[in-house]
Amino acid sequence: MDILLNKRGNAWIMSQVLTIFVLSRVSIANSVPANFILGDSLVDTGNNNYIVSLSKANYIPNGIDFGRPTGRYTNGRTIADIIGQELGFEDFTPPFLAPTTVGSVVLRGVNYASGGGGILNYTGKIFIDNFANTRQDIIASIGAPATLSLLKMSLFAVVIGSNDFINNYLTPVVSAVEQKVVPPEVFVDIVLARFRLQLTRLYNLGARKILVANVGPIGCIPYQRDTNPAAGDNCVSFSNQIAQLYNTELRSLITELGANLEGSNFVYADVYRIVNDILHNYRSYGFENANASCCYAAGHFGGLIPCGPSSKVCFDRSKYVFWDPYHPSDAANVIIAKRLLDGDSKDISPLNIRRLATI
């Protein structure tokens, strides 16, 4: 009898815990009515499927653990996908250019991210222009007051900047001349001056809860390792140094914008710190490889050719930090997303995403 009561008691406790968990997810979802994503291939969910671009991921083996290729540059979900799920959204935030992203669909958010996108190139402006168009569509649907209220409570995630270094300032051979003419400090200032304008415009269009991710340790991605063989088995120090220089200045910019733009809640996501920790302690996270691509075709680290139909794929994707020459695997994205959701002020400040969602 005591055993039976104990089992019933445990079952009741478990049911209450489950109820609280479900209600908390519903509560968070209600406080974040929509999720808007701006950025590059790290969070692209298929926009590049609809444009003329050399950067595409809508073919196998991309999406091998998602069920099909969708245009995501990974084997499964992006960081933004996972965060959306954790916040209680039933569906993934749809790509802006998909023909089905119309009508009431946009009231739950839109993904404007595009593989190859950057702050300096034209796509940086295009992201904001596209959001401005969506904003007008929402106003036409529910009116201006309701739109401003919706945008005020919505989450805006801005994940961009890596391509301004990887495919610009750090491009092999081509960048050598630029680096002699433009010192790293000057280049970083140019990038951030443009980014300031873009983030301020996003605020002026109604965004208030704005998460901005910094640039990760780009010197450690397989592409950088293979194009800088002198680094051996180490990360490329110069690439990481310029990323850290940028990140230091970006943190100051985010703090300044948060202090000066009334009613704003800017959050600085230290992706560099999180990924660097994963790379240095990868075995403690359950990984077996932290320097090579799971999807590989050429190069010592599999970093010379993008993942494509002719590529080979590692047996267990969950054991690799990197899916391809540039992007994390689904397993790595889960760790990054959860630390942004629940991490302390060293990972994300001044608020983590769950706290940001409830204010």
Q: Are 71 and 47 in contact (CB under 8 A)?
A: yes
Q: Are residues 69 and 198 located together in one domain of the fold? A: yes
Q: Are residues 59 and 196 located together in one domain of the fold? A: yes
d(CA 41, CA 58): 12
List the catalytic residue out of 40, 41, 154, 239.
Answer: 41
Active site residue 41: yes
Q: Are residues 340 and 193 located together in one domain of the fold? A: yes
Q: Are residues 203 and 152 located together in one domain of the fold? A: yes
pLDDT by residue for the chain (359 residues), tens only, comes to 443 334 345 444 444 444 334 334 444 555 899 999 999 999 999 999 999 998 999 999 999 999 999 999 999 999 999 999 999 999 999 999 999 999 999 999 999 999 999 999 777 889 999 999 999 999 999 999 999 999 999 999 999 999 999 999 998 755 666 777 899 999 999 999 999 999 999 999 999 999 999 999 999 999 999 999 999 999 999 999 999 999 999 999 999 999 999 999 999 999 999 999 999 999 999 999 999 999 999 999 999 999 999 999 999 999 999 999 999 999 999 999 999 999 999 999 999 999 999 99
Amino acid at 152: K
Q: Are residues 274 and 297 located together in one domain of the fold? A: yes
Q: Are residues 138 and 277 located together in one domain of the fold? A: yes
Q: Are residues 280 and 291 located together in one domain of the fold? A: yes
d(CA 267, CA 154): 14
Q: Which residues of 145-166 are buried (b: 16+ CB within 10 A; e: fewer)?
A: eebeebbeebbbbbbbbbbbbb
Active site residue 318: no
Going by C-alpha positions, the residue among 51, 185, 38 that lies closest to residue 118 is 38
3-state secondary structure of 302: coil
Q: Are residues 305 and 281 located together in one domain of the fold? A: yes
Radius of gyration of the chain (CA): 21
Q: Are residues 151 and 201 located together in one domain of the fold? A: yes
Q: Are residues 2 and 39 located together in one domain of the fold? A: no
What's CA 34's distance to the chain center, in Å?
16
CB-side neighbour CA atoms (13 Å) of 219: 17
List the catalytic residue out of 81, 270, 293, 327.
Answer: 327
Instruction: Kindly tell me the sign of the dihedral angle through the C-alpha atoms of 132, 127, 245, 291.
Output: positive
3-state secondary structure 229-287: HHHCCCCCHHHHHHHHHHHHHHHHHHHHHHHHCCCCEEEEECHHHHHHHHHHCHHHHCC
Provide the pLDDT for residue 26: 41
Q: Are residues 77 and 143 located together in one domain of the fold? A: yes
Q: How many domains does the chain have?
A: 2
Q: What is the CATH number of the domain that holds 316?
A: 3.40.50.1110
Q: Are residues 22 and 37 located together in one domain of the fold? A: no
List the catalytic residue out of 40, 164, 277, 324.
Answer: 324
- For every residue of 114-150, DSSP letters joined together read -TT--SSSTHHHHHHHHHHHHHHHHHHHH-HHHHHHH
Which residue range(s) make up the domain with 18? Answer: 1-31
Q: What is the DSSP letter of 60?
A: T
Token reading at 318: 């969950």
Q: Is the peptide bond before 94 cis (omega within 30 degrees of 0)?
A: no
Active site residue 324: yes
Provide the pLDDT for residue 5: 39
